Copies of this chain bind each other. A is one copy, B any other.
Amino acid sequence: MKSRITIKDIARELSVSTSTVSKALKDSHEISESTKAKIKAFADFYHYKPNSLALKLRNQKTQVIGIIIPEIVHHFFSRVISGIEKVANQHGYNVMICVSNESYDKELLNIEMLANGSVDGLLISLSKETQKIKDFKHFDELIENNLPFVLFDRIEKTINCDKIIIDDEGGAYRATKYLIEKGCKKIALITTPAYVTVGESRKMGYIKAHQKHGINVAESLVIKIDKDDDDHDAIYALIKKLIFVKNPPDGIFAVNELYAALAMKVSKERGLRIPQDIEIIGFTDGIISEFSSPALTTVAQHGYTMGKHAAEMLINRIENKANGNFQTEVISTDLKFRESTLN
């Protein structure tokens, strides 16, 4: 059960003090060349590596960034993480990832776990439950202890911190506008409950695009899915109610690719041709869209970029390179044309 060798072991074996060992290993001028050589050789031989906990405690700096996300089996979030990881590593940071599972309690627990000295800063995307019950007191404590943190994607305006979001409203606006201008007369919206802010923003874009064209949005064309993303059957059933009607919509804008893909499935079963009878656009960073048939036109949201920028914002804060005021950065979207809309 031998464990990793420590500086004390080296000191004892070579009959010098721990200070001498420490300095020798850092090539300090205070130590003679001969002693340094001896110590370095010994340390090398036994593969000495300083204990990182001890260093972190001493330096009051962990070089670790904590990430709290609602779920990890999620293409968008995993891209964000990938971007974070990239930038973090470039700056010598590691990442510690916690999953809130869309639960307020777990989010709170995670924050408490990570905020006790384990990390230098936090990157957080709010859980659905947190957005629903609107309780943000766990962030007050972060602010009190002035631990830097950045909210990304699922944010809350009233929290005083740096934020980074997708241009949800703009993306939805352009997608809807595109459908309107292609001649769609009945464009349905498949969205989330209102407490999911990104869904709400996208709905806003959908509405504004209609207003811009002087069209009144029929409430019957808007459905809110209050089901777990894993429960495809339940979502499917809700969408069916939208499409299996006398005069089905001739356009659909869905706030994520899952809804869009399921809408496409339902449409095909209803006998509608895509895109001739009904045009569909999703919102996503995903792969369902690419491989569904017909391939889905989507609002591409660039999660990798968001992750990179979020990490940069946070590291700037941690290293005090940021100016005083908190920023909110908006990542713009692209409309990616595929087969589910007419050329």
Q: Which residues of A contact B (CB under 8 A)?
A: 1-4, 47, 49-54, 56-57, 62, 64, 71-75, 78-79, 81-82, 85, 94-99, 112-113, 115-118, 141, 144-146, 232, 261, 265, 287-288, 290-293
Contact = CB atoms under 8 A, between A and B. Distances in A.
Given A78-B74, A85-B72, A117-B4, A53 B57 contact: yes
A75 B287 CA distance: 10
Given A82-B99, A94-B96, A94-B113, A146 B53 contact: no
Contacts of A2: 144-146
Contacts of A73: 75, 78-79, 82
A146 B3 contact: yes
Contact of A72 (B53, B78, B141): B78
Contacts of A1: 146
B99 A85 contact: yes
Contact of A52 (B71, B116, B232, B287): B116
B97 A95 contact: yes
Contacts of A287: 287-288
A96 B96 contact: yes
A81 B145 CA distance: 31
A147 to B, nearest CB: 8
B54 A117 contact: yes
Contacts of A62: 53
A81 B85 CA distance: 16
A232 to B, nearest CB: 8
Nearest to A286: B287
A41 to B, nearest CB: 18
Nearest to A83: B73
Contacts of A115: 49
A49 B96 contact: no
17 contacts: A2-B145, A3-B145, A49-B116, A51-B116, A53-B56, A53-B118, A57-B57, A64-B96, A71-B82, A73-B79, A82-B99, A85-B99, A94-B96, A95-B98, A265-B291, A288-B288, A293-B293
B118 A52 contact: yes
A52 B117 contact: yes
A95 to B, nearest CB: 7
B96 A97 contact: yes
Nearest to A74: B78
Contacts of A50: 116
A4 B47 contact: no
Given A3-B145, A54-B117, A72-B82, 14 more contacts: A1-B146, A2-B146, A49-B112, A52-B117, A53-B62, A53-B117, A72-B78, A72-B81, A72-B85, A82-B99, A85-B99, A287-B287, A291-B291, A292-B293
A144 B2 CA distance: 8
Nearest to A51: B117
Contacts of A116: 4, 49-52
Contacts of A85: 72, 98-99
Most chain B beta-carbon contacts within 10 A, residue among A3, A117, A145, A288: A117
Contacts of A98: 85, 94-95
A263 to B, nearest CB: 12
A193 to B, nearest CB: 23
